[in-house]
């Protein structure tokens, strides 16, 4: 059974407006609920838009450019569908924003209707209260005048039986009684007139109250219907979004079914092959068996090369009067022998001793007794540039081997 607002929101007191105020509170609460739903939809729209834009950004920055064959196709499809899902969520945010606008328009329409009836009810209520006070005041005046008339008539009766009363006193009392009665009658007429006016206002107020109750009930029914439908449609939008998302991901799964591990590896082998012939093993080569003495002198480290050249030259020139023997030359340290011994070797030219200044680009710590430690910025004199990359240098009277790549010409 449907209950009617117009039958349930009255008050026992004549000037009571409790029913109307209760209805107004309900409508205000309903309006706040409309606003809350609008905020919900707005926040959801913002979230959907942000989520959609984030997905689009993720898809665009996903990379995968170096993949090949079927897995590349699957990866690209995944990026495409993620971007599609992001765009769908952005579209959903637009739909939600439109729904918010409709809710705002509905709320404003209800606000205008409610305000219109509020003004009418407030006006009628104010008139009713004002006339009620006036009627109560006229009743009070009527009662007071009646009492005064009764008292005056009582005085007339009393003075009429008084033997000492003069005619003038009797006449004066009669005149007063008559005036009081006339005033009472006039007050009665005013009181009755106010009662009649008040009843008309009461009827008008009741009629207006009934119309207002009906309108407010209709507003509540519309509001509940609109909010219920809005929530229902919102859920439908979210459900459809899930379906669309799943369709996008199903497309990815379909492409992944064609992803073939063997095919991808075969494609890589066929397009990037470097050959099927394996390198031959490195065999041991005896230095003394494969190179001539001259080649050994040119390719060995400076110390070994000088020692071997010096030894060979000594053997070929003992008759020339050299004072050094092989054992003595072999016993000389590399640093001491480099200048003196080499200068006595026939055929040794100054061009082999560069004697050019070089600067150290890097630090080097000697690893053996025949090596020389240097620091960045040290200036050294290059005595010999070995073909194996080790150069004989001299610094502050001390000679030794250093890596040639650590030096730069001054």
DSSP 282: P
Nearest to 332 by CA among 319, 342, 321: 342
Percent of the chain with pLDDT strictly greater than 90 = 69
CA–CA distance from 75 to each of 206, 257, 261, 266, 296 (Å)?
74, 12, 14, 19, 60
Evaluate whether 102 touches 226 at the Cβ level (below 8 Å).
no
Which pLDDT belongs to residue 207? Answer: 95
192-199 long-range Cβ contacts below 8 angstroms, 24+ apart: 193/138, 194/131, 194/134, 194/135, 194/138, 194/139, 195/135, 197/131, 197/135, 198/128, 198/131, 198/132, 198/135
Which pLDDT belongs to residue 29? Answer: 96
Residues 350-374: what's their mean pLDDT?
81
Nearest to 394 by CA among 403, 386, 384: 384
Which pLDDT belongs to residue 143? Answer: 95
Evaluate whether 297 touches 386 at the Cβ level (below 8 Å).
no
Of 302 and 385, more confident: 385
Q: Is the pLDDT of residue 349 over 70?
A: no
Which pLDDT belongs to residue 167? Answer: 85
Half-sphere exposure of 263 (CA within 13 A, CB side): 10
Residues 132-140: what's their mean pLDDT?
95
- The Cα–Cα gap between 233 and 40 comes to 14
Which pLDDT belongs to residue 305? Answer: 43
Q: SS3 for 374?
A: strand
Which pLDDT belongs to residue 169? Answer: 86
Residues 60-103: tens digit of each pLDDT: 999 988 999 999 999 999 999 999 999 999 999 999 999 999 99
Residues 216-261: tens digit of each pLDDT: 999 999 999 999 999 999 999 999 999 999 999 999 999 999 999 9
Instruction: Classify residue 319 as exposed, middle or buried by CB count within 10 Å of its CB (0-12, 13-18, 19+).
Output: exposed
Residues 273-313: tens digit of each pLDDT: 998 888 888 888 887 776 544 444 444 444 444 443 333 33
Q: What is the mean pLDDT of the chain?
A: 84
Q: Is the pLDDT of residue 316 over 70?
A: no
Which pLDDT belongs to residue 290? Answer: 60
b/e per residue, 301-316, with b = 16+ CB within 10 A? bbbbbbbebbebbbee
Of 165 and 356, more confident: 356
Strands (E), 78-219: none
Residues 135-157: what's their mean pLDDT?
92
Instruction: Look at the pTM and tell me if it is higher than 0.75.
Output: no
In which residue are the tokens 């990815």 written?
A: 252
Residues 104-114: tens digit of each pLDDT: 999 999 999 99
Which pLDDT belongs to residue 280? Answer: 87
Of 295 and 165, more confident: 165
């Amino acid at each position: 059974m449907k209950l009617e607002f117009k039958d349930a929101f009255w008050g026992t007191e004549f000037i009571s407006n409790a029913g109307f105020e209760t209805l107004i509170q309900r409508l205000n609460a309903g309006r706040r609920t409309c606003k809350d739903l609008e905020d919900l939809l707005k926040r959801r729209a913002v979230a959907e838009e942000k989520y959609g834009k984030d997905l689009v950004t993720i898809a665009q920055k996903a990379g995968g450019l170096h993949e090949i064959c079927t897995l590349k196709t699957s990866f690209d499809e995944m990026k495409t569908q993620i971007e599609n899902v992001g765009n769908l969520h952005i579209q959903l945010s637009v739909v939600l924003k439109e729904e918010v606008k409709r809710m705002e328009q509905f709320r404003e329409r209800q606000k205008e209707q409610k305000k219109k009836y509020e003004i009418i009810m407030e006006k009628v209520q104010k008139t009713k209260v004002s006339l009620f006070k006036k009627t109560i005041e006229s009743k009070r005046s009527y009662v007071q005048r009646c009492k005064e008339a009764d008292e005056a008539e009582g005085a007339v009766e009393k003075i009429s039986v008084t033997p000492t009363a003069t005619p003038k006193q009797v006449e004066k009392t009669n005149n007063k009684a008559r005036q009081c009665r006339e005033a009472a009658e006039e007050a009665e007429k005013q009181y009755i007139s106010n009662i009649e006016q008040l009843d008309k206002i009461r009827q008008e107020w009741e009629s207006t109250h009934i119309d207002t109750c009906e309108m407010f009930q209709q507003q509540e029914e519309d509001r509940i219907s609109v909010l219920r439908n809005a929530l229902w449609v919102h859920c439908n939008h979210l459900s459809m979004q899930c379906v669309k998302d799943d369709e996008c991901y199903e497309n990815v799964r379909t492409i992944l079914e064609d992803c073939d591990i063997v095919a991808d590896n075969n494609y890589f082998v066929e397009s990037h092959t470097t050959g099927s012939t394996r390198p031959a093993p490195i065999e041991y080569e005896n230095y003394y068996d494969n190179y001539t003495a001259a080649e050994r002198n040119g390719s060995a480290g400076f110390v070994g090369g000088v020692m071997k050249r010096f030894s060979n030259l000594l053997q070929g020139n003992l008759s020339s009067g050299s004072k050094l023997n092989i054992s003595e030359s072999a016993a000389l340290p590399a640093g001491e022998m480099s200048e003196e011994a080499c200068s006595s070797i026939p055929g040794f030219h100054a061009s082999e001793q560069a004697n050019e200044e070089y600067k150290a680009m890097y630090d080097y710590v000697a690893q053996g007794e025949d090596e020389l430690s240097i620091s960045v910025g040290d200036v050294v004199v290059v005595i010999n540039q070995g073909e194996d990359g080790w150069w004989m240098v001299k610094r502050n009277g001390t000679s030794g081997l250093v890596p040639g790549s650590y030096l730069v010409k001054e």
